[in-house]
């Protein structure tokens, strides 16, 4: 420890901050996942339900336009057999 004192302050004591109070809780007193099933799952369901009408209609419209466009493209790539009826 004598050699680190000569080099400077320890990492946790680099600056002296005045008029700031910080509180912490021991990791042994904390709960890892408190109320996960009773609070988190209903919260996710509520948030999903509130956003579903904003997200699904544009996605459905985009999908319908995309599928129509690919079907039309495939139809237009083919030759029309009526154009070649008189050719022998």
User: Where along the chain do its domains lie?
Assistant: 35-78
Q: What is the pLDDT of residue 48?
A: 95
**Cα 81 to Cα 23: distance, rounded to the nearest angstrom:** 81
**Cα 45 to Cα 52: distance, rounded to the nearest angstrom:** 10
At residue 3, does pLDDT exceed 90? no
At residue 11, does pLDDT exceed 80? no
The answer to whether the predicted template modeling score (pTM) of the entire model surpasses 0.75 is no
Mean pLDDT of 61-87: 93
**Please, which residues have CB within 8 angstroms of residue 10's CB and are 6 or more apart in sequence?**
4
Q: Are 4 and 10 in contact (CB under 8 A)?
A: yes
3-state helix, strand, coil in the chain (%, to 5): 60, 0, 40
At residue 27, does pLDDT exceed 60? yes
**How many Cα atoms are found within 13 Å in the side-chain-facing hemisphere of 34?**
3
Question: What's the topology of domain 35-78?
Answer: 1.20.5
At residue 4, does pLDDT exceed 60? no
């Amino acid at each position: 420890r004598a050699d680190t004192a000569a080099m400077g302050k320890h990492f946790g004591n680099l600056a002296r901050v005045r008029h700031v109070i910080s509180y912490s809780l021991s990791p042994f007193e904390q709960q890892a996942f408190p109320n996960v099933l009773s609070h988190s799952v209903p919260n996710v369901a509520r948030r999903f339900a509130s956003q579903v009408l904003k997200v699904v209609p544009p996605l459905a419209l985009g999908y319908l336009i995309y599928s129509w466009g690919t079907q039309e493209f495939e139809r237009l790539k083919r030759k029309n057999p009526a154009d070649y009826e008189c050719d022998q």
